[in-house]
Amino acid sequence: MYNYQIHDQLRIKLKERGDAVSGRWGLFMLAYEAEEDSIAVSFDDLACLKLLPSVLPYTHQIETAKRVINELHGRALLADEVGLGKTIEAGLVIKEYMVRGLVKKALILVPASLVLQWTRELNEKFAVNAFAQRNEWSWTNYDVVVASMDTTKREPHRSIVLGQDYDLVIVDEAHKLKNNRTGNWQLVNQIRKKYLLLVTATPVQNDLKEVYNLIHLLRPGQLGNPTTFASTHVLDKRTPKNPQALRSALHTLMVRNRRKESQVDFTERHVEAIMLRLSQEEMELYDEVSGFIKEEYEYRSSNHRSLLPLITLQREICSSSYAALPTLEKMRKDPHLISSARERLEHIYEMAQSVPGYTKVNQTIDLAKQIADKLIVFTEYRATQDFLLYMLRRSGIAAVPFRGGFKRGKKDWMKDLFEHRAQVLVATEAGGEGINLQFCNQVINFDLPWNPMRVEQRIGRVHRLGQTRPVYIYNLATKETIEEHIVQLLQEKIQMFEAVIGELDVILGAKAFEKELLQTFVESRDQSEVKARLNVLSKRVQRTPSNHK
Amino acid sequence: MKDKKLQEFCKRYFMLVDATLHPADDFALSVELPKEVDKELTDRPFYWMWVETLGETPPPNFLYLLFDDLTPSPALLSALKDTQKPERVLPGSYRMQKIYQSAKNRGMFAVAYEPSTHLWPHVLMNVKVSFISDRQKDELLSYLYFVHTNIVKKIDMNQWKGKKLLDHQPSEAKIIPLPISFDHVFSAILEEVQHEINKRDQGWAQEASQRLKKELTELNHYYETMDNKESLEAERQLRKAEITWRMSPRVEVNPFQLALLYLSEGI
């Protein structure tokens, strides 16, 4: 029934000594006690818990690690909501397997910006001897290697990795494996591995097929073959036929802890919308841009041209006139542009350049002075970020930038500066991933992403485990613009989004959602129509089955 | 409490490997490491290669290990060498991992004597048994082999922990000389081990092999329903190998310690 294997190292060692036994009894007993302390006496308990030098995991994290090992048999999707400590859970799993001797060789694939952080956490919190991959010899020289996915999938690394056996592979930000035609997915699929952990807060973004692709890596056939999956589970791209059935099919491979259900006491969260009135010049510019977008929208829709630049422009103009300049510039150079549109664009461009004052920026500066404490200002746009930094500094407020594109060292540096020297951190969206700023409890959303998931990720940077104070969120919005509606939608109906985001079986496709919003704005004749249509939209989302046990 | 036990363990370790203990706070150990111990506890192979190539004698290394979060007393701290930074030692920390590893290597074999006049040779062997599928548990088994009668007996190591045995043959003792074939000792004890394991509950292995069978069946079924079976053959074989690797039940028997004991009574 089982394979029976006898190790002969001790016999070999003795032979090397010519079968002459020597050594001290005291050391013999000491070694026995060390061995006693190193073994795992039961299948079910976590043996690693007494061996964690500097981390005290939360109950839900311990339960998750146990479930992955005992019930999911070591191949699992860790899909906790943001801020619950998925890294700790993955760390517990790798540590436990190592303590038991089930894992010796492990590969941890993460975005490049997180390589050093993962390496540090595994070493410091879990005393796991992990190395950041540096060159082609790293793969064979070290047992536990943390590497960026992008490096790993390039030669010569790829061939070396595929030539080895891994006891455990962990993929962080695993939503980057949602498409099975990409190099990322194929790499992970081809690695020979015993255990596999996929870690992501957003296993489904736009299409149910994404979760199918993730699950395929863990256990092919769990959701049937592509045809039966489509017929059994998919109503349309984003709606499952039978959420209950899909949920139970996922249950044997997925752990998803939710903030609401975890026993972690998150501090209070206060959200406030600050409604501003634009200056006359700003309002004129806004109207001009909106008018242009409406026209272009009709033209582009009937000519099957991309609507993306319009969505971008509409969102940028809500942020600041500065943010819109690069897009306006690009559109101006578009050879397919009809000449009347070009003229109109030239005019808009000039108007944008000559706006005399900036309502939202002034408000931000006022707020920063009023709060007189650490503060993060989020914006989606580089141009807005630069401008905000400039204006804040000009008002005597120490501010530092933070971007996803920064190298790890620079990110740490900026975080340090923010913690010890500056009052304000001006961050773009991409600044979010994997950095923890719990020492700050004030957030201004200078502009809002049209995607509730991203709003949650922003807030999750500060409203997470380790935050000791209540968190204050200020959403800036200008009256009589799209923003007014967006803020209302994202803030007042946030309950709806919480319900939706939390559920894997109801998918709110970000891109499709953005498109739908734009459609609503350009097709409506007036504000009251916008309101009515948004109501319908939110009702429709709410109706999607999302009630869980 | 846990830390106190750890400190006791470390103190015993350092004394047994002939490190020099210097005055320290109650919750700390200040030790001067012999070169070989230093090599085992600090991870710097290149340093040692360099030192040895140049034929130099490096100054001895010191450690100041803390077993509590208290602050070391300033008087003792000021006496520390520059190289001796206070270091907090916790269960599972790198330092403890190294100390455990060093203890295990150094304590693999022993010879010991009972303080008595007539002594008979015995062989004590400790064996780690691991029950493994995708999960795993371990058990330590101990056996005593009486050379004179060729008898193997399972023993409880806890009862041996307080036993006072000597590292050197007592001068008045007479040893009964008996030839020992270690090949024979190993096979006799390992036979007992297998016998013991066969008596155990096999439920875990049954469960594991059923799960393995089910996984393989379902995997096969999945690939059989695919239109492009042929092109997926490599993937199928890989997944099959992974499942077998992960889930096959096995028992690993790992003898890890052996002592030659001269005891006053046979068994």
Considering only CB atoms, A32 lies closest to which of B126, B197, B235, namely B126
At B183-202, the pLDDT tens digits run 999 999 999 999 999 999 99
Nearest to A194 among B109, B157, B245 (CB): B245
Quick count: other Cβ atoms within 10 Å of Cβ A481? 21
Rounded Cα distance between A279 and A300, Å, is: 31
A35 at B interface, C-beta within 8 A:
yes
B180 shares a domain with B218:
yes
Q: Which of B242, B253, B262 to mutate to test the interface with A (most CBs of A within 10 A)?
A: B242
The dihedral sign for the CA sequence A77, A79, A80, A82: positive
DSSP annotation of B231 reads: G
Which chain A residue lies closest to B12 (C-alpha atoms)?
A30
Tens of pLDDT, residue by residue over A428-437, are 865 545 567 8
Q: How many domains does chain B have?
A: 2
Q: Is B260 helix (H, G, I), strand (E, B) or coil?
A: strand
Which of B80, B106, B132 is the last residue before a domain boundary?
Answer: B106
Q: Which of A2, A32, A36 sits opposite B205 (nearest CB)?
A: A2
Residue B213: Cβ within 10 Å count: 11
Residue A506 has pLDDT above 50, yes or no: no
State the average pLDDT over residues B60-79.
Answer: 83
Q: How far are the Cα atoms of A32, A462, B129, B209 from residue B133, in angstroms, in the given order?
A: 25, 41, 13, 9
Contact A127 B94 (CB under 8 A): yes
CB A3 to CB B248 under 8 A?
A: yes
Examine the domain organization and report whether B30 and B139 are in the same domain. Answer: no
Q: Are residues B246 and B128 in the same domain?
A: yes
Same domain, B67 and B176: no
Kind of pairing between the strands at B151-155 and B136-146: antiparallel
Q: Does residue B155 share a domain with residue B34?
A: no
B210 shares a domain with B125: yes
- Give the single-character DSSP code of A267: P
Say how many CB pairs under 8 Å bridge A and B: 209
State whether B42 and B67 are in the same domain: yes
Asked if residue B136 and residue B55 are part of one domain, the reply reads no
Using the Cβ of A32 and the Cβ atoms of chain B, whether some distance falls under 8 Å is answered with: yes
Together in a domain, B100 and B168: no
- Compare CB distances from A31 to B107, B132, B134 and report the shortest one's residue: B107
> Which of A29, A37, A100 lies nearest to residue B136, judging by beta carbons?
A100
How far does B43 lie from chain A, in Å, by closest CA? 12
Best of B18, B99, B138, B185 to mutate (most A CBs within 10 Å, chain A): B138
Distance from CA of A548 to the nearest CA of B (A): 29
Query: Could you report the per-residue pLDDT of A153-181, keeping only the tens digit for each?
Result: 999 999 999 999 999 999 999 989 989 99
- Measure in Å the smallest separation between the Cα of A203 and chain B Cα atoms: 22
Kindly report the average pLDDT of chain A as a whole number: 84
pLDDT tens, residue by residue, B205-240: 999 999 999 999 999 999 998 888 888 999 999 999
Mean pLDDT calculated for residue range A456-485: 82
Same domain for B171 and B91?
A: no
Q: Which of B85, B106, B127 is the last residue of a domain?
A: B106
**pLDDT value of position A507:** 36
Q: Which residues of B touch A67 (CB under 8 A)?
A: none
H or E element at residue A519 = helix A510-523
Full-model pTM: 0.75
Q: Is A7 on the interface with B (CB under 8 A)?
A: yes
Distance CA B250, CA B105 (A): 26
Q: Would the CB atoms of A102 and B137 count as touching at under 8 Å?
A: no
Verify that B264 and B198 share a domain, yes or no: yes
Range of the domain at B18: 4-106
The number of CA neighbours under 13 Å toward the Cβ of A69 is 30
Inform me whether the pLDDT recorded for A322 exceeds 60. Answer: yes
For the cut 50, the answer to whether the pLDDT of residue A548 exceeds it is: no
Question: Pick from B91, B106, B121: which residue ends a domain?
Answer: B106
Tell me which residue in B190, B219, B245 faces A220 most closely, judged by beta carbons. B219
- Looking at residue A49, the DSSP 8-state letter turns out to be G
Instruction: Clarify whether residues B153 and B245 are in a common domain.
Output: yes
Higher-scoring residue by pLDDT: B67, A485: B67
In Å, how far is A85's CA from the nearest CA of chain B?
21
Q: Which of A81-85, A290-294, B14-18, B21-25 has the lowest mean pLDDT?
A: A81-85
